[in-house]
Amino acid sequence: MPFVKEKFTVSEKIPAFLFIMRTFGFTQAQAQRLVGKGRLLIAGVSIYNSGTKLEPGEVEIVYFKAASRGEKPLFANKDFMVFEKPSGVLVHPNTMSTPYSMLDEIRHIGGDNANAVHRIDMETSGLLLASKHKQSEHYLKNAFEIKKIRKSYLAWADGELTAPFSVALPVKTNHDYSECKHKVFLHEDGKYAHTDFIPIHYDKTLDTTLVACYPLTGRTHQIRVHLFHVKHPILGDPLYGTTFETANAYLEDTLTQEERFVHTGAQRLMLHAQTLTFPYGAKYQIESKVNFGEMKALICPQAERLFNTGNIQKQPPGAAQILPHEMDH
């Protein structure tokens, strides 16, 4: 369990934030934030004022304690690390009861100031960039903001794609899940999003195409919703490549592995973060060592699939009907 509650002994009268700083080697801001979240307890009761004077005796502190499962970085130096994130693993814990995330590995190696500097969906596998200290975290997050860092992905998409194309359509967050379980959808009022796609290989037996995906922007689920829009959803996608009922079962954690296999076309979302290119003094170009193109055993045979592009979820009510003029070859 990454968040633990442990007892500590206060040996002298001391402000709460200073005790946290000395105990964990935190900055003052980090210590104040921990106390402000109610994670310092006296006699079982949380305190929230970081200036509170602690009396000698025992206190309890709830904090993140990394528990590694042995994932080693693909590349590391004194400033940052790059991991191969497995599919199904969160980057950060989404609750205090999350049993494991990539932050466990990042903090296990880099210490309390190490952090992931970008997002990857839980279902997506592949390259994850993490800083080792606050200076590199600030630099790398800013590099993402100003688009100095480029990413590419590989996806196994439903059906045959034969020529390169681009999708440049805005993405908007969905706030009404009553009729559509998509997290985002395409809408003229959304944020600009652009993805370039290059087909690499078509597998006729499985009726699926391996596609290289180059997002020029970093919107939530951008690649997934763009491929869904052109009627070639990513195999294994439980939200954008399936019916409302299947998506709802997935979100409520009632969808079995067997049902997912046949209703979404694969055992997992078949999307993989393949490359990262960025400057950090020198120019770094890092490529995944996972042979994602050979992971076809995870794909449901064509004859056994119970979904098709004719009965999957449509855009939420009120979404703009944007014509497919973006299919520019």
- 2-40 pLDDT, tens digit per residue, is 799 999 999 999 999 999 999 998 899 999 999 999 999
- Number of H helices and number of E strands within the chain? 7, 18
Mean pLDDT of 96-110: 94
Residue ending a domain, choose from 11, 46, 64: 64
Domain CATH for 241? 3.30.2350.10
- Residues facing 158 on adjacent strands: 208
> Which residue out of 79, 104, 112, 121 is catalytically annotated?
121
Distances (CA, A) of 52 to 14, 44, 256, 274, 293: 8, 16, 50, 49, 57
pLDDT band at 320 (very low <50, low <70, confident <90, very high): low
Looking at the fold, whether 242 and 190 belong to one and the same domain comes out as yes
Q: Which amino acid is at 31?
A: A
Q: 11 and 127 share a domain?
A: no
> Of residues 112 and 222, which shows the higher confidence score?
222
User: How many other CB atoms are there within 10 angstroms of residue 35's CB atom?
Assistant: 22
Q: Check whether residue 323 and residue 174 sit in a common domain.
A: yes
Residues 108 and 238 in one domain: no
**Cα 60 to Cα 230: distance, rounded to the nearest angstrom:** 54
Domain match, 76 and 113 both: yes
Question: Coil, strand or helix: which one is 16?
Answer: helix
Tokens of 239: 């939200």
How much is the mean pLDDT over the chain? 92
Closest by CA position to 165, among listed 73, 232, 100, 248:
232
Q: Are residues 318 and 204 part of one domain?
A: yes
What is residue 49's three-state secondary structure? coil
| Final residue in a domain of this structure, among 111, 146, 181 | 146
Q: Could you tell me if 285 and 326 lie in one domain?
A: yes
Residue 308 pLDDT exceeds 80: no
Whether pLDDT at 98 is above 50: yes
Residues 88 and 199 in one domain: no
Of 8-17, 173-182, 238-247, 301-310, the one with minimum mean pLDDT is: 301-310
SS3 content of the chain, % helix, strand, coil (to 5): 20, 30, 45
Are 202 and 224 members of one domain? yes
How far is 286 from 165, CA to CA, in rounded Å? 25
Residue 329: how many other CB atoms lie within 10 Å: 7
For the cut 50, the answer to whether the pLDDT of residue 296 exceeds it is yes
Q: How many domains, in total, are found in the chain?
A: 3
Whether 254 shows a pLDDT value over 90: the answer reads yes
Q: Please say if 112 is a catalytic residue.
A: no
What percent of the chain is modeled with pLDDT above 70?
93
CA nearest 154: which of 194, 110, 201? 201
Q: What is the CATH number of the domain that holds 34?
A: 3.10.290.10
Residue 214 above 50 pLDDT? yes
Q: 256-295, pLDDT tens digit by residue?
A: 999 999 999 999 999 999 999 999 999 999 999 999 999 9
Q: Is the dihedral of CA 219, 325, 316, 232 positive or negative?
A: negative
Same-domain pairing of 140 and 207: no
Question: Which range of residues forms the domain containing residue 49?
Answer: 3-64
Among candidate residues 30, 64, 98, the one where a domain is terminated:
64
Can you tell me the distance from the alpha carbon of 239 to that of 154, in angstroms, rounded to the nearest whole number? Answer: 18
268 and 209 in a common domain: yes
pLDDT per position as a tens digit, 146-200: 999 999 999 999 999 999 999 999 999 999 988 889 999 999 999 999 999 999 9
Whole-number Å distance between alpha carbons of 261 and 254:
14
Residue 20 sits in the same domain as residue 99: no
Q: Is the pLDDT of residue 317 over 70?
A: no
Average of pLDDT values for 103-127?
95
